[in-house]
Amino acid sequence: MAAKVHTPAPAGARETRGAARRWWVLAVASVAQLMVVLDVTVVNIALPSAQRALAFSDADRQWVVTAYALAFGSLLLLGGKLSDLFGRNRTFTAGLAGFAAASVLAGAASNFAVLAAGRTAQGAFGALLAPAALAIVTATFAGSSARGRAFAIFGAVAGIAGAVGLLLGGLLTEYLNWRWTLYVNLAFAAIGLIGAAVFLRRGDRPAHRPTLDLPGTALVSAGLFLLVFGLSRAQAGGWNTPASWLSLTGAAALLAAFAGWQHRAAAPLLPLRVLADRDRAASIIALTLASAGIYSVFLFLTYYLQTVQAYTPVRTGLAFLPMIATTIVGSVLGANVLLTRIGPRLTLPLGMLASAAGMAWLTRLTVTSSYPSAVLGPLLVLGLGLGLIFAPAISLGTARLRGQDTGVGSALVNTTQQVGGAVGIALLSTLAASATTSYLRPHAAITPALLQHAAVHGYATAYWTATAIFTAGALLTALLYRSGRTDPAVLASTVSA
């Protein structure tokens, strides 16, 4: 009997399989990104239920959110560097497994201390996972003409995850219980781990592993920790509290020392060449400002719908669905069409101005406003604007990176979003609270109706501030981005010149 002769698959078939694998890799990375980002908001709606179940104080309640943000924000650059040191795929898998274990710990908590510890561990493993996920997408679509579409999808996930978290948190809290807002991560992690085992290729670990910049790691981690902590304290107690200004002053000193050290370090944690690209620097600014502005919608519009309009958690989450739809449209339009036809210098300012218009529209809300006439329109405009910002900025922020910088470059993009969100929440919360107090001060008798009017006044102040943030973003992006359309070859590149 004649032996079978193995015939290699035709080149076209191999290319087709390779292209299909890329999209599966994107799906796996997007699931991980969704899990990490929605965990910022998914627990918020469940907090009152968790507080009743575990009997912790109002002061402790904030730490359920802050513990996650502190660990996540302060360790992101380290997580990105570990991705470069040990390999993106290995770091991604470790981050997924650790995040799942931390979610089980927090979900099964019998007291506040265990819940806070679980949330801290979630943030730490999220800092490992998020930059690895973005680095995997960056490397997988390097040199591919489909890179724009890939980042449109990934950027849309980044833009809508907060709203998805509100919806998912409402559904799980209302129909199951608060613990499932944490246990749900097991489903995301399982999908990610199975997908990683099937679709991620091994062997991405560098042949010559560089050393870890320990002084730089200590300086930036401590600096980012104090920055997020100081902003959280400002949100809770105001900017004048010693915990706020001492932390923020210490953060400024440590981050300045980190920047100085990176000039002298033999193997810097954040190579300055990563920041040298003009479009990347502009993208970092755009993501910081957009993140600072958009969290006011998730925070204050949620308060408005639940406390003023008496929406249930599920109905509140459903109210954000139109925004999710237009964010997806804006992401595809921005990353796939506008970047290569009119360039970032027009695309990003257009997104910023649309977002500013949506924010200004929300300032017209009153106690008696209806959703169709006063909320739906602003959300549609905001979603479109955010899509035009996030997807193009993430795509340009990770283009032209050297292979050994994809992890730390991706971590930088994630860090700017995290820090921008923390700055926005602290600033806008403080301004809204001050405006609400000023509104109430002339009134001798405080009634429930008056409290509602005062709250809406405070929200309007936050929306006006967010309008100013997005307007400033429009001006800065128009000035900083390169003029002219973006060459598709640039978007497909991940290797710096």
d(CA 232, CA 239): 10
The pLDDT of residue 489 is 60
* Mean pLDDT in residue range 170-178: 85
Whole-number Å distance between alpha carbons of 33 and 118: 19
Helices (DSSP H) in 176-312: which residue ranges?
A: 180-199, 214-237, 242-264, 273-276, 278-296, 302-303
- Work out the number of other CB atoms within 10 angstroms of the CB of residue 13: 10
What are the structural domains, with CATH classification, of the chain? 20-202+269-491 (1.20.1250.20)
pLDDT tens-digit readout, 298-336? 778 888 988 899 888 788 888 888 998 898 899 889 888
- Average pLDDT across the chain, whole number: 83
Give helix then strand counts, H and E, for the chain. Answer: 20, 0
* 27, 188 Cβ separation under 8 angstroms: no
Calculate mean pLDDT across residues 47-55: 84
65 vs 256, more confident:
256
Residue 404 binned pLDDT confidence (cut-offs 50, 70, 90): low
The per-residue pLDDT for 384 is 94
Instruction: Check pLDDT > 80 for residue 148.
Output: no
Work out the angle between the directed axes of helices 344-362 and 376-397 (0-180°, nearest 10): 150
Vertex 495: Cα angle to 493 and 497 (nearest 5): 110
Residues 6+ apart with CB under 8 A from 57: none
Provide the whole-model pTM: 0.80
What DSSP designation does 300 have?
I
The reported pLDDT for the residue numbered 153 is: 84
**Mean pLDDT, rounded, for 90-108:** 94
Most confident of 40-54, 143-157, 181-195, 440-454: 181-195
In this prediction, residue 183 has a pLDDT band, given cuts at 50, 70 and 90, of very high
Check residue 9 and give its pLDDT: 47
Label residue 202 exposed, middle or buried (CB < 10 Å: 0-12, 13-18, 19+). Answer: exposed
Burial 353-388 (b: 16+ CB within 10 A, else e): bbbbbbbbbbbebeeebeeeeebebbbbbbbbbbbb
256 neighbors 266 (Cβ within 8 angstroms) = no
Chain-centre distance for alpha carbon 385: 16
CB-based contact 36:175 (threshold 8 Å) = no
Considering only 97-111, 134-148, 337-351, 399-413, which range has the smallest mean pLDDT?
399-413
